[in-house]
Amino acid sequence: MYPILMGKKTLALMGGLLVLGSTPALAQLKVDGSIAAYKKTSGVAGNLNSIGSDTLNNLMTYWAESFRKQYPNVNIQIEGKGSSTAPPALTEGTSQLGPMSRMMKASEIEAFENKFGFKPTAVGVALDSLAVYVHKDNPIESLSLEEVDAIFSENRKAGHPVDIKAWGQVGLKGAWATKPISLYGRNSASGTYGFFKKKALHKGDYKATVKEQPGSASVVLGVTEDLGGIGYSGIGYRTSGVKAIWLAKKMGETAYEPNYENVLQNKYPLGRMLYIYVAKAPNKPVDKLTKEFITFALSKEGQEIVIKDGYLPLTAKLDQDQLKMLE
């Protein structure tokens, strides 16, 4: 637990898919000027629990700290051990907020619906480009998802003809040619683990040699300390010790940097929405404390925190669509 106890083109993202629509120019990473500033309201107090995603852990903590400045009579506890911990916590009523870096599975939704009689509500709160990281001194600049699959998965469902175990197999020369590739990833409780398995590995199995880490920061640290290392983690965990490589959907196609514009335009193949799931009955607003916290996250101030934490803010259109989910 991390207690916070201080006294052109827009897109719609549904079901994890990026769908183009129309947005402002993206010269610099700034909050869309049409997103409103947060307006403080009365009668907000009580305890708020958040259990779920490690990817969102720092972001939830930053939001909580700022939210507490608006409402000193609110106590917030945050636990970020992995997206898979969010659905049971919401179902059992031990948390009001279920941050997840992936969509809920059908079985998770079913368990919730069996308890409450309605489905949980997913509110998108930020965008992310799930990055593939290598050591900062690694000369590799880009890979295709077919190569990424052959590096991380024993099944090679993307169709690459051979298993990739050494950096020379993806074009590196000299001393790098025979250097073994060392794999870092998340454990199965992680939404990032599930998203990467689905999108990059075509639901194939991870190799047994992947060094499973308990958190996103641990993946990045492992790669930082391992010259031959490669790992995957949210873009918000990027440090100076690693390089986020460009990715192509298929070999021979253009590779794209994991930046905001490429996520919005659906060019970067591992772009995703980050969610907070809540228990909201049909045709009824979500409870006031939960609503105000998420409204703050979707405000100008909340989206500025998204940028501060290294993630990607919502467009105004996306932001408005998410706010409507709370009504």
Residue 265: inside a domain: no
- Contacts with 46 (C-beta within 8 Å, 6 or more apart), sequence order: 73, 74, 75, 289
Residue-wise pLDDT tens digits, 40-52 = 999 999 999 999 9
State whether 301 and 196 are in the same domain. Answer: no
State whether 112 and 150 are in the same domain. Answer: no
State whether 279 and 243 are in the same domain. Answer: no
- DSSP letter string over 303-315? HHHHHHTT-BPPP
Query: Given a cut of 50, is residue 229 above it in pLDDT?
Result: yes
Residue 47: inside a domain: yes
Instruction: Give the C-alpha separation, 20 to 35, whole Å.
Output: 19
Residue 194: inside a domain: yes
Query: What per-residue string of b and e applies to 77-100 under the rule 16 or more CB within 10 Å gives b?
Result: bbbbbbbbbbbebbbeeebbbbbb
**Average pLDDT for 242-261:** 97
State whether 278 and 243 are in the same domain. Answer: no
State whether 149 and 204 are in the same domain. Answer: yes
State whether 93 and 112 are in the same domain. Answer: yes
Residue-wise pLDDT tens digits, 151-183 = 999 999 999 999 999 999 999 999 999 999 999
Domain coverage including residue 162: 131-257
State whether 207 and 249 are in the same domain. Answer: yes
Residue-wise pLDDT tens digits, 194-210 = 999 999 999 999 999 99
Q: Over pLDDT 90: what percentage of the chain? A: 90
Residue 312: inside a domain: yes
Structural domains of the chain, count = 2
State whether 183 and 243 are in the same domain. Answer: yes
State whether 141 and 222 are in the same domain. Answer: yes
Residue 15: CATH number of its domain: 3.40.190.10
